[in-house]
Amino acid sequence: MAAKIDWYPSPAKLNLFLHINGRYENGYHQLQSLFQILDKGDDIGFEINNSGNIEIAEQIPGVPEKDNLVYKAAIALKPYASEKSGCRLHIKKRLPMGGGIGGGSSNAATVLVALNQLWNCHLGLDELAKIGLKLGADVPIFVHGNTAFAEGVGELLEATSTPEKWYLVATPQISVSTKDIFNSPELPRNTPKIDFKTYCFEKTHNDCQTLVENMHKEVAYLLQWLVNYAPSRMTGTGASVFAVFDAKENADKVLRLLPESYAGFVAKGVNHSGLHTALGIETS
């Protein structure tokens, strides 16, 4: 008899803008951003058992199990579960690695939030977010499950509601190193802070975009191509970029025109994560 696998969504996100305001003494960057949750992403499957062990069923090529954020998240939650609590984790990857749309961070958050219920850990979202922050700066946004403004290193979150637009997300066949971007002396680090109450997409930008365009001509070309159809911008540190549409049919039309050298998908921007809906968790 096949083992029971419970599947839960691991949604993508976009940084609708990304301003670098400065740098902390520890080297981390002080930023402001708007994290937009999408209705598409990866899926994580859970086989719960009493082995006390954690195992990943499908290994990601080039990523040792101990370095996989999914494995790290389960290990981080294990001290809050019973000694016999174990699981076998499955990963259906759809999101590009190194795309800046939250794949690994979202996967880790799905493991934390779902296993918290499946292992009966009874931790609150704030507690889970603190655990998640040790795994990556973007993990807390997925733990809380709201589209939100972010400050600090991305962990200070203010839930917000945005108009539910449609996004064409496209990715070149490259991977951009976040570490290389944030370590670059050419990265702007002095953008003045904005008041979130006055946020307007057209009056914001992504401080990483020009640097990535200069380093990767594929990103520059894709942005030049997309902007002919709709307002477009890079998300996070790339390599993925997005275009904003009011109607799904318009986004689908441009997706059909996308050059074959780029991967793309159309998703709806939502204010609450599909993961939390699936688990019956109310978000603030």
As given in the structure block, the two tokens for residue 255 are: 């997706």
The pTM is what? 0.94
Residue with tokens 């039309």: 253
Domain assignment of residue 12, given as a range: 1-284
Q: How far apart are CA 105 and CA 267, in angstroms?
A: 19
| Overall number of domains in the chain | 1
Supply the pLDDT for residue 168.
Answer: 98
Q: Please confirm, yes or no, whether 67 is among the known catalytic residues.
A: no
Supply the pLDDT for residue 284.
Answer: 65
Q: Please confirm, yes or no, whether 13 is among the known catalytic residues.
A: yes
* Torsion angle in degrees (nearest 10) through CA of 241, 216, 26, 77: 50
First to last CA, the chain: 40
Strand ranges for the chain from DSSP E: 6-23, 29-49, 54-56, 86-92, 148-151, 156-159, 166-171, 232-234, 241-245, 263-270
Supply the pLDDT for residue 63.
Answer: 78
Contact 138, 13 (CB under 8 A): yes
Supply the pLDDT for residue 3.
Answer: 77
Q: How far apart are CA 164 and CA 156, in angstroms?
A: 23
Strands 54-56 and 148-151: unpaired
Supply the pLDDT for residue 154.
Answer: 87
Supply the pLDDT for residue 257.
Answer: 98
Supply the pLDDT for residue 61.
Answer: 77
Please name the residues in contact with 89: beta carbons below 8 A apart, sequence gap of 6 or more: 44, 45, 46, 47, 54, 55, 56, 57, 70, 71, 74, 111
Walking along the chain (284 residues) 10 residues at a time, the average pLDDT comes out as 87 97 93 97 97 90 85 98 96 86 94 98 97 94 97 92 96 90 96 97 97 96 97 95 98 97 96 96 80
Supply the pLDDT for residue 148.
Answer: 98
| Catalytic-labelled residue, pool 13, 40, 78, 165 | 13
Q: Any idea what the CATH number is for the domain that residue 131 is in?
A: 3.30.230.10
| Catalytic-labelled residue, pool 72, 138, 165, 207 | 138
